[in-house]
Amino acid sequence: MKILVTAKRVVDYNVKIRVKSDHSGVETANVKMSVNPFDEIAIEEAVRLKEKGMATEIIVVSVGPAAASEQIRTALAMGADRGILVQNDAITEPLAVAKILAAIIAKESPDLVILGKQAIDDDMNATGQMLAGILGWSQGTFASKIELAPGQATVTREVDGGLETVRLTLPAIVTTDLRLNEPRYASLPNIMKARKKVIENMTPADLGVDAAPRLTVLRVEEPATRKAGVKVGSVKELVEKLRGEAKVI
């Protein structure tokens, strides 16, 4: 079985986001970047499936600037076998990413595609679903458990009311939720080995995909600063404030 996973380059989740002075976006210059945490979970799951003997090859794909090769190297150090970088310096929206992945899938013919359910920069939560729609494949989103059997995958997914289990016919698309696993730290020997693994470079044009943005960002603002709370001396005073000041009752 061949598994394809994704590794989006995003601002590290420990970094405090700052808006650019011209309000055109968020500051990324001299900011620590890392693999999208949900994609890390996808990579870890693929590696675990390979360790169980259920997969023979893991291909990691990233769409972004040339520097995204760093995130591919991280995935290779975790256990992926080879990488593909689709270089695009502009913002690549979910539909364009889905079309790029569909073109790569047509060339690589993976049996299972595992993606993070969303990226922590735009929170779109759309690429996996769009990819399944383009390919006409079955999909299991927000996966908290994946079990493979010949020709099929059983996915336990998190829904508002609890858990739902779906059985998918392979090939299929799966997007990962937080409780699926805890990604490993790459060991130094594996980091050294990852330097020798192959990363194939291409562009959206090479795949016949128009990756031009369809959305225009007008302005980015920081959230308004919350006012400090106040202590009240009694329930009566609380009710008066909720009625008179907050006007919520």
Band the pLDDT of 224: cuts 50, 70, 90.
confident
3-state secondary structure 15-65: CCCCECCCCCCECCCCCCEEECHHHHHHHHHHHHHHHCCCCCEEEEEEEEC
Q: What is the mean pLDDT of the chain?
A: 94
Residue 98 Cα distances to 143, 204, 208, 219, 249, angstroms: 19, 11, 13, 26, 46
CATH architecture for segment(s) 2-244: 3-Layer(aba) Sandwich (3.40)
More confident residue, 226 or 31: 31
Q: Tell me whether the omega of the peptide bond preceding residue 171 falls within 30 degrees of 0, making it cis.
A: yes
Mean pLDDT along residues 202-222: 93
Dump pLDDT digits (tens) for 137-148. Answer: 999 999 999 999
Mean pLDDT along residues 222-230: 85
Share of the chain above pLDDT 90, in %: 84
pLDDT score recorded for residue 198 = 93
Residue 173's H or E segment, with its range, is strand 172-176
pLDDT score recorded for residue 15 = 92
Mean pLDDT along residues 59-75: 96
Assess whether pLDDT exceeds 90 at residue 247.
no
Range scoring the smallest mean pLDDT among 45-54, 168-177, 214-223: 214-223
For the chain, which residues make up each domain, given as ranges?
2-244
Beta-bridge partner residues of 148: 153
Share of the chain above pLDDT 70, in %: 100
Mean pLDDT along residues 15-21: 91
Mean pLDDT along residues 164-189: 95
pTM score of the predicted model: 0.88
Range scoring the smallest mean pLDDT among 61-70, 86-95, 177-186, 226-235: 226-235
pLDDT score recorded for residue 225 = 85
Neighbouring C-beta atoms of residue 225, cutoff 10 Å: 6
Q: What is the largest CA-CA distance in the chain?
A: 70
